[in-house]
Structure 1
Amino acid sequence: MDLVTLIKRIDHLHKQLEELRPIPPDRMRRILQKFRLDSNYHSNSIEGNSLNFGETKTFLLHGLTAKGKPLRDHLDIQGHDEAIKYLEELVKDDERPLTQNLIRELHRLILKDPGHSWTENAEGHKIPKKIKVGQYKTTPNHVRTMTGEIFYFAEPHEVPAKMDDMLRAYQKDREEQVHPLFIAAKLHYSFVRIHPFDDGNGRISRLLMNLVLMNHRLPMVVVKTEDKDNYYRALRQADGGDIEAFVSYIGEQLVHSLELMLKGAKGENIDEAGDVDKKLDLLKRRLQGLGQKPIKEKRTFENTLQFCVSSIAPLTRSLVTELSKFNDLFHEQSAKYNVNVSNWTTVDLFDKQIMRPGYLEEYFEKNSDKELPSKLALQFWWDGLITSGTEAFQTGQDWISFSVSITSE
């Protein structure tokens, strides 16, 4: 998609989003949580953080650390999460300008455990250097490329002046009402070229980009870790003078974010391809976390309901989204919960209503005053594979099932 077409697409989606405002609070919370968790995971993963998505979400939502993973990786996730929340507060304060002090504050937030970075001495040997949080670099942080060449960032003594130039250009673009995509991408790239800090420059550049977008009532852009090669390629193209390639790359990610936010604003499912694996991993992490220490609390209606609402309901929606893709291949299909008590009401999991926010949560609440099941299974069934036209041959009952057992003493 060429840049002109991309801008038109962004503006069209943005207009649709504005027409849906105000977005109901429950939907907005769900949207913001997804963008926040995705950004926390991907922006840190790109920089080498070892926590996977499930571990990241478990840590942020439930406070459970990942066994065997470095403390610093957890602190980096925590700091980035605080930085995003800080951005959300900044967006509410239209009068606060973007300044060097604000950027240094972001740096203090994301580096909870600064540790050391590596630099080359005059002889070309790598030596450790202590990172100073919230302070600009005092020694060069140029990098050696794969070809052995040195890629040069701003020299330490140049940083304050170049940061001033960057912020003046940003303010000028705002006053001239340049399209927010250009402002965001330009600010991101300009910051990376300066590389003012010893560590955290990539994360800060993406936070600044998203601050610009959020100030224009646009969603955050999440650069996925699995797409980092394309991201770095676009940055290298900008280094070679083709800044439009980088603007286009960011624009394509913005289109994706807008489409996702539109779905959320309409109350539709906003899980993406791959989110099923993330949710299964999250559930596995939570169950492992529970197994690390004895559970003294007996199973009650309240804690069983909380587990169903916080884990089973969102996992169900993700599984149904993925597995319903098989439905067009068969004449018959069904999906349901199978519990080992008789007085729970049944629910058709292929019914489109289950994608409505709160529908499954209400289902569990209505059944919470009945006998507690010790086993709850999600069962999916298809029969009558369509071979051509309306003809079909009968198969056996092919089951795909996922089950979670809840037991009590």
Structure 2
Amino acid sequence: MKGKSIPLPDEYLQDVLIRLAHHSSAIEGNTISLPDTVSIILHNTIPGKTDLRELYEITNHKEAFQYVIDQIINQKPLSTEIIKGIHERLTDRLLSDKGKFKMHDNFIIGADFRPASPHETPLLMEQWVENLNYQLDQVAKNENDIMRIVGDFHIQLERIHPFSDGNGRTGRMLMIYSLLERGLPPLIIRSEHRAEYFQLLALQNIASFALFIEKLLKEESRRHQGFIQMEDKKITVYDDKPSTEDSDVGQ
């Protein structure tokens, strides 16, 4: 199911980027605050005593998010190359193997399963992205189907754990890719939802995860509409100004 693209004003995209960079990083333990994230992203101002690794985790979201938006504007279907491109930008200056599938076994602390082996990962990821695109394009009939499929495949990705690190941040960015691609607002999982989010992943409860996504997207949709209305008011104010051609001055 291909939805109509939604309008994405620049100010709204900045707002999404700031919240995404802060919350997605905070879920992984980053301690940079939301106000400091605003300073870093919007004003290129680095607060004193900022840990360099945490700073890169925040700033890398800017390049990764712009990359996602560019691919969507160009109507590029999700592929393993795009997935690697997102990971490469999210982990720039943080990982020596940025943008590459894992070369060694990795583990998830406290998980009752073992992620895919490095040997299995390339084929599993090809199958993952092909199946995701098929489900979204051919099977999904409505927005609820899209949310269920996006949640299901996020859980699957977590179990493959295709990269040596940065899987969570990449996976959350991929959910945004699929949602925007199909005309839904982006999903921002806030840091205060960390425990619930991790529990849903651990339980692999697709139905509950879909409801979780639906709740957050309803909130995001209201926020998005607020930015659209702000943009419309700007246009109205601009349009109310008389043009030079309409002016009587000098006549």
Q: Which TM class, normalised by the smaller chain length? A: 0.7 to 0.9
Correspondence for 1:262: 225
Correspondence for 1:99: 79
Q: Quick check: 1:66 aligned with 2:66? A: no
Deviations 1:222-255 (A, max 9, x none): 00001111111111221xxx32111221121111
Correspondence for 2:238: none
Cα displacement (A) at 1:22: 8.2
Q: Quick check: 1:252 aligned with 2:232? A: no
Cα displacement (A) at 1:263: 2.4
The answer for unaligned runs of 5 or more in structure 1 is 1-13, 116-130, 269-355, 359-409
Give the TM-score taking structure 1 as reference length. 0.52
Q: Quick check: 1:233 aligned with 2:203? A: no
Question: When you count strand as a share of all residues, which structure comes out higher?
Answer: 1
2:87/2:170 contact within 8 Å kept: yes
Give secondary structure in 1 for the equivalent of 2:120. helix
Cα displacement (A) at 1:46: 0.7
Q: Distance in 2 between matches of 1:89 and 1:236?
A: 33
1:105/1:134 contact within 8 Å kept: yes
Give secondary structure in 2 for the equivalent of 1:136. coil
Correspondence for 2:147: 181
Correspondence for 1:160: 122
Change (3 A) 1:212 1:63: same
Correspondence for 1:3: none
Give secondary structure in 2 for the equivalent of 1:267. helix
Q: Quick check: 1:197 aligned with 2:163? A: yes
1:42/1:222 contact within 8 Å kept: yes
The answer for unaligned runs of 5 or more in structure 2 is 236-251
Using the TM superposition, name which of 201-210 and 164-173 deviates more.
164-173
Change (3 A) 1:224 1:72: same
Identity across aligned pairs (percent)? 25
Report the AA paired with residue 47 of structure 1: E
1:237/1:245 contact within 8 Å kept: no
Q: Quick check: 1:218 aligned with 2:181? A: no
Cα displacement (A) at 1:78: 1.2
Deviations 1:50-81 (A, max 9, x none): 21111111011111112112111111111111
What are the equivalent positions in structure 2 for 1:354-373 lying under 5 Å apart?
Answer: none
Change (3 A) 1:258 1:201: same
Cα displacement (A) at 1:110: 0.7
Correspondence for 1:134: 99
Report the AA paired with residue 66 of structure 1: P
1:184/1:212 contact within 8 Å kept: yes
Deviations 1:146-199 (A, max 9, x none): xxx753111111101111221121122133141321232223222111101011
Identify which of 32, 50, 74 aligns with 2:31: 50
2:19/2:188 contact within 8 Å kept: yes
Give secondary structure in 1 for the equivalent of 2:98. coil
Question: When you count helix as a share of all residues, which structure comes out higher?
Answer: 2
Report the AA paired with residue 189 of structure 1: I
1:187/1:208 contact within 8 Å kept: no
Superposed structure 1 runs of 4+ greater than 3 Å apart: none
Correspondence for 2:93: 113
Cα displacement (A) at 1:84: 0.6
- The Cα RMSD (Å) is 2.3
Report the AA paired with residue 103 of structure 1: I
Deviations 1:75-130 (A, max 9, x none): 11111111111111111112x23211111111110112225xxxxxxxxxxxxxxx
Q: Distance in 2 between matches of 1:237 and 1:53?
A: 30
2:148/2:209 contact within 8 Å kept: no
Report the AA paired with residue 83 of structure 2: I
2:22/2:33 contact within 8 Å kept: yes
